[in-house]
Amino acid sequence: MQTGLIQTARDIAKEQYDSYKNNLNNKVFPHFKGLTTVRFDKRSISFKHTPEKHFEWWANMSTTHGKVHVPITSCEKYFKLLRAHSFKCVQLKYRKNGYYLNVIFEEEKPIPSQKDFKHFVGVDRGSHNNSATLVVQDRQGNILESNFFNVQQMLEKRRRFFVLRKQLGKKKLLKEIKKSKDRERNYVHDVNHKISTEIVSIARKYKDCVIVLENLKGISKQMNFGKKGNRKGHSWPFLLLEDMIVYKAHRNSIAVRRVHPRDTSSVCKDCGGDIRRSPSIHSVCKTCKKEYNGDWLGAVNIVRRFFFYMSKDLGISGSCPKQGKDDSKGSTIAPTLVEALAHRGLMVRPMRI
């Protein structure tokens, strides 16, 4: 076997094992069965353009039986990318009685450093009323724009899928259960793609922008709301939405930062008093009696907590943060809970940075 194929197979196995080690909620040890993905790098695959032949594009791939030359088809848009850019790697996948080549390109995008941030997009993710709430602020804390992404329709559809699977389970229709899971997963991915695209498109309107999220890693371990509440919480795709926001933001030269999530919707943005929040979205300050939308207040305070991190120089990131849900070294997260909660006084009056 060609050395490049052996090394890429080793890389795939190592990535799967590292993902298993870093995800404490995953109890299934990684294993490979059936037709798994094959990864090629520039040593083991190349592309050739032959406009004089019936198939204009051909792939030359290394296999266990030597080099093979196969014709490839796609739309003109992707062929233009193949001509204009150098690819990083290629994945060969078998899906629905056909073989597909996923060509991965790497492109450097300039991301503003923390000292250059001028606009801040706070995103509060929820599972009860709104799947995401967005608030745009400037350095002085002025509210420039707000937007809400309702989650009720997705929750209702997922509830119906759950009821359907219970009925199918009583009839032992395992194949139908798997199909319903696939349909639900595709639906959730589609909804999160639309929400993340809209969030990034709003952030693109503002120069030197940063999207600020809550660091919700490990939050599922703290859920104890009963059988029904836990099922709803564990099916909340907050990390999926975060991953989509991060890679789309980086693709559009927008920085992403994370802050400690505790009490972001429990502090009044004007007086710093405690918030009395009903089971619904309605919130009232106990001190000044001002009324808020709880999710909107959370998005505002996420940005103001980030203001505090910047003013205290807590964990300033570089200009190119690591893409993905795992934070790179130096990313903006409160080092301790005491420092995370010390932002309450700052929320009364945003500082000029």
- In 3D space, the residue among 89, 18, 6, 4 whose CA is nearest the CA of residue 47 turns out to be 89
Alpha carbon distance 213, 87 (integer Å): 31
Amino acid identity at 4: G
CB 94 within 8 A of CB 107: no
What angle do helix axes 174-203 and 152-170 make, rounded to 10 degrees?
170
What pLDDT score was predicted for residue 344? 44
Cβ contacts of 105-111, under 8 Å, gap ≥ 24: 105/81, 109/250, 109/251, 109/252, 109/253, 110/253, 110/319, 111/250, 111/253, 111/254, 111/255, 111/319, 111/320, 111/321
What pLDDT score was predicted for residue 280? 64
What pLDDT score was predicted for residue 221? 63
Per-residue pLDDT of the chain (353 residues; tens, 9 = 90+): 778 888 888 888 888 888 888 776 677 788 777 778 889 988 889 999 888 888 889 999 988 888 889 998 888 888 888 888 888 889 988 887 888 999 988 777 888 888 889 999 999 887 666 668 888 998 888 889 988 887 777 778 888 888 888 888 888 888 888 888 888 888 888 988 999 999 999 999 999 899 999 887 766 666 665 666 555 655 667 788 888 999 899 989 899 998 888 878 788 887 877 877 666 677 888 888 888 888 888 888 888 888 888 876 654 443 333 433 444 433 443 334 444 444 444 444 343 43
What pLDDT score was predicted for residue 204? 93
DSSP assignment, residue 328? P
114-348 — its CATH code? 3.30.420.140
What pLDDT score was predicted for residue 198? 93
Q: How far is CA 149 from CA 200, 206, 217, 234, 296, in A?
A: 13, 20, 22, 20, 11
Tell me the two tokens of residue 43. 């040593």
- In 3D space, the residue among 65, 69, 63 whose CA is nearest the CA of residue 44 turns out to be 63
Spatial strand order of the sheet with 275-277 comes to: 275-277, 282-285, 291-293
Tell me the two tokens of residue 119. 């606009």
Domain boundaries, the chain: 3-105, 114-348
Alpha carbon distance 226, 179 (integer Å): 28
